[in-house]
């Protein structure tokens, strides 16, 4: 459990600080915040709202109960008792050094202290600290609640153990800590970004293209390559069977060509700033920042989900990381408690996801079965047929399903589902599930399903465990009193009897 952050503190709650706060809270970690900015609570609240919406699209895995968020009146109050303190104040050395020195003095001695600086060297930041060995840079990328990367950089006095512990503690909150070998200003990511930014400014200034064209050049080509492989792996492929060595031999000479103006620094005149701002307005001004954020977040979630299917379903890059994060969520989620009442069991709350709708905005046929499948999965976990049980070699397989469509579902519509146990024996489970509109309660679809308990290795039916059968009996005791659902026991096209 040493790798699980128990209490976090965030000093500075802007877009980056707010992103860290959302990461921690949604991973179930309590966060205390200090930020003297009068609008800090509003800004953090907006980032958190974005993050919650995004996580709903990112994963169906069970998020832990959200951590407790407390705004504090002083830095000292915020860091008290925290085991991870993240500093995200404005990018000025004197300011950051002062804040970090105060954090160091107030924090418990073994607390880790990360700085979100995008360029300052940790050696300069830790100069005045009493326990400088636990100070490191944890440089994240916006939006912090979705993009997994944190560059971990130590200064001269940072211990190796600090970096390794920081990396290990980031994994359970879905982040990828990457340790940078030597400290330099701007580390690795911002070095790369800065040169694209510089070159980009020249291209705009010299009227080679406008901002929209430059963005299109990036996102219709190497942007997609870099979402899943970086530069060197991509070029390795470009080198073909001959590999990296061949690639360098072929393209190395370009380095001395007169292709770049990188040796000059663009003069950021008012004229150039106007030009960029105007082009950016023409390109993106039709949409507000909040709308662009929503679009970006949905795209990032979709990309990560797509990468989860990568490498033949084993997961690739950020998609593999998402799969690991989900596995962690499932593993650490409390076992659901079965509480049977006089109603069908309410099992699932979902919203119709953009990927679920057709070009008319209606939920596609097979997504109904996806919701019914998730519903029966939730029921199975509730009776004890969970991941551990499946790993032990037993499982329930669906053998038959009868779906009736009674209404339409639209993009974003909130739905909930229930299941009613019709009958069961040692091997069979006969259920009737319903999908309702969450706002009106209207029934939009039903599914009658037969599931069979199997020995998955042998591939044949066998009796379920006594623990499962006991839970089924408890449900049956209540559900046998429910009326038989309208539509149950019917074949396709059969009229109401």
Using CB under 8 A as the binding rule, the residues of this chain from 199 to 218 that contact a copy of itself are: 199-201, 203, 206-218
| Residue 9 C-beta: closest distance to a copy of itself, Å | 24
Could you count the other beta carbons within 10 Å of the beta carbon of residue 49?
12
| Residue 241 C-beta: closest distance to a copy of itself, Å | 6
In the DSSP assignment, the letter for residue 175 is -
φ and ψ at residue 308, rounded to 5 degrees = -65, -25
Could you count the other beta carbons within 10 Å of the beta carbon of residue 222?
12
Structure tokens of 440? 């009106």
Q: Of 72 and 238, which has the nearer Cβ to a copy of itself?
A: 238
Q: Of 279 and 420, which has the nearer Cβ to a copy of itself?
A: 279
Using CB under 8 A, pick the residue from 39, 128, 164, 311 that binds a copy of itself. Answer: 311
Q: Is residue 202 within a helix (H) or strand (E), and if so which, with residue range?
A: helix 189-205
- What is the DSSP track for 276-336? HHHHHHHHHTTS-HHHHHHHHHHHHHHHHHHHHTTTTTT--THHHHHHHHHHHHHHHSPPP
| Nearest alpha-carbon partner for 41 in 21, 26, 59, 57 | 21
The window from 60-68, 357-365, 433-441, 465-473 that contacts a copy of itself (CB under 8 A) reads 357-365
| Nearest alpha-carbon partner for 67 in 46, 80, 52 | 52
Using CB under 8 A, pick the residue from 284, 333, 462, 482 that binds a copy of itself. Answer: 284
260 binds a copy of itself (CB under 8 A): yes
Site for a copy of itself in 474-493 (CB under 8 A): 489-493
282 binds a copy of itself (CB under 8 A): no
| Residue 104 C-beta: closest distance to a copy of itself, Å | 26
Q: Which residues make beta-bridge pairs with 138?
A: 152
Q: Of 346 and 428, which has the nearer Cβ to a copy of itself?
A: 428
171 binds a copy of itself (CB under 8 A): no
Q: Which residues make beta-bridge pairs with 346?
A: 418
The Cα–Cα gap between 10 and 23 comes to 11
Site for a copy of itself in 71-130 (CB under 8 A): 119
Residues in Cβ contact with 341 at an 8 Å cutoff, skipping those fewer than 6 apart: 478
Give the CA angle between residues 350, 6, 336 to the nearest 5°: 40
The Cα–Cα gap between 173 and 211 comes to 35
| Residue 151 C-beta: closest distance to a copy of itself, Å | 6
- Alpha-helix residue ranges (DSSP H) falling in 27-159: 40-58, 75-79, 93-106, 122-125
The window from 124-132, 164-172, 292-300, 478-486 that contacts a copy of itself (CB under 8 A) reads 292-300
| Residue 76 C-beta: closest distance to a copy of itself, Å | 29
Using CB under 8 A, pick the residue from 25, 48, 85, 318 that binds a copy of itself. Answer: 318
Q: Of 67 and 143, which has the nearer Cβ to a copy of itself?
A: 143
| Residue 73 C-beta: closest distance to a copy of itself, Å | 26
How many residues touch a copy of itself (CB under 8 A)? 155
Using CB under 8 A, pick the residue from 273, 414, 473, 477 that binds a copy of itself. Answer: 273
Positive/negative CA dihedral, 44, 50, 51, 52: positive
Using CB under 8 A, pick the residue from 72, 171, 186, 443 that binds a copy of itself. Answer: 186
Q: Of 182 and 481, which has the nearer Cβ to a copy of itself?
A: 182
Q: Tokens 């107030």 map to which residue?
A: 106
229 binds a copy of itself (CB under 8 A): yes
Using CB under 8 A, pick the residue from 72, 333, 369, 443 that binds a copy of itself. Answer: 369
Site for a copy of itself in 23-62 (CB under 8 A): none
Structure tokens of 6? 């128990």
φ and ψ at residue 111, rounded to 5 degrees = -70, 145
The Cα–Cα gap between 462 and 400 comes to 17
Residues 159/18/8/331 CA torsion (nearest 10 deg): -100
The Cα–Cα gap between 425 and 462 comes to 11
How many residues in total does the chain contain?
A: 497
The Cα–Cα gap between 163 and 61 comes to 29
The Cα–Cα gap between 248 and 228 comes to 22
Binding mask 422-451 for a copy of itself (x = CB under 8 A): ------x-x-----------------xxx-
The window from 127-135, 310-318, 331-339, 378-386 that contacts a copy of itself (CB under 8 A) reads 310-318
The window from 4-12, 99-107, 178-186, 343-351 that contacts a copy of itself (CB under 8 A) reads 178-186
Site for a copy of itself in 388-407 (CB under 8 A): 397-405
| Residue 59 C-beta: closest distance to a copy of itself, Å | 14
Q: Of 67 and 315, which has the nearer Cβ to a copy of itself?
A: 315
366 binds a copy of itself (CB under 8 A): yes
The window from 99-107, 158-166, 184-192, 435-443 that contacts a copy of itself (CB under 8 A) reads 184-192
Q: Of 105 and 266, which has the nearer Cβ to a copy of itself?
A: 266
| Residue 266 C-beta: closest distance to a copy of itself, Å | 7
């Amino acid at each position: 459990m040493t790798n699980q952050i128990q209490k976090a503190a965030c000093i500075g709650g802007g877009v980056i600080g707010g992103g860290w706060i959302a990461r921690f809270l949604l991973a179930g970690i309590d966060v205390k915040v200090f930020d003297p900015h009068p609008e800090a609570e509003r800004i953090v609240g907006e980032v958190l709202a974005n993050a919650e919406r995004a996580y709903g699209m990112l994963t169906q895995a069970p998020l832990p109960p959200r951590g407790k968020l407390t705004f504090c009146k002083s830095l000292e109050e915020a860091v008290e008792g925290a085991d991870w303190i993240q500093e995200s104040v404005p990018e000025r050395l004197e300011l950051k050094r002062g804040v970090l020195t105060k954090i160091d003095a107030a924090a418990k001695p073994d607390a880790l202290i990360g700085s979100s600086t995008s360029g300052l060297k940790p050696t300069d930041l830790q100069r005045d600290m009493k326990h400088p060995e636990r100070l490191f840079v944890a440089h994240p990328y916006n939006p912090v609640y979705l993009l997994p990367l944190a560059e971990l950089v130590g200064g001269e006095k940072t211990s190796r153990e600090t970096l390794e512990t920081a990396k290990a503690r980031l994994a359970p909150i879905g982040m990828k800590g990457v340790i940078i070998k030597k400290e330099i200003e701007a580390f690795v990511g911002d070095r790369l970004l800065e040169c694209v930014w510089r070159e980009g400014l020249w291209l705009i200034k010299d009227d080679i293209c406008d901002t929209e064209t430059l963005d299109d050049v990036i996102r219709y080509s190497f942007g997609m390559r870099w979402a899943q492989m970086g530069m060197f792996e991509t070029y390795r492929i470009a080198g073909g069977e001959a590999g990296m060595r061949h690639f360098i031999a072929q393209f190395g000479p370009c380095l001395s060509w007169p292709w770049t103006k990188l040796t000059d620094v663009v003069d950021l005149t008012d004229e150039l700033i106007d030009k960029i701002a105007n082009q950016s307005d023409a390109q993106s001004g039709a949409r507000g920042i909040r709308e662009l954020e929503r679009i970006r977040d949905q795209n990032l979630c979709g990309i990560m989900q797509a990468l989860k299917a990568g490498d033949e379903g084993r997961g690739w890059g950020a998609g593999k990381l998402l799969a690991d994060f989900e596995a962690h969520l499932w593993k650490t989620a409390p076992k659901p408690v079965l509480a049977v009442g006089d109603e069908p069991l309410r099992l699932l709350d979902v919203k119709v996801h953009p990927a679920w709708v057709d070009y008319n905005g209606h939920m596609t046929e097979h997504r109904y079965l996806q919701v019914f499948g998730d519903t029966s999965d939730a029921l199975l976990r509730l009776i004890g047929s969970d991941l551990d049980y499946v790993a032990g070699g037993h499982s329930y397989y669906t053998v038959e399903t009868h779906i009736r469509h009674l209404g339409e579902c639209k993009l974003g519509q909130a739905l909930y589902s229930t299941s009613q146990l019709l009958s069961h024996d040692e091997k069979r489970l006969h259920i009737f599930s319903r999908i309702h509109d969450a706002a009106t309660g209207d029934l939009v679809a039903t599914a009658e399903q037969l599931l069979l308990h199997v020995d998955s290795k042998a591939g044949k039916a066998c009796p379920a465990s006594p623990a499962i059968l006991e839970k089924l009996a408890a449900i049956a005791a209540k559900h046998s009193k429910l009326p038989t659902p309208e539509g149950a026991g019917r074949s396709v096209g059969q009229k109401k009897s």
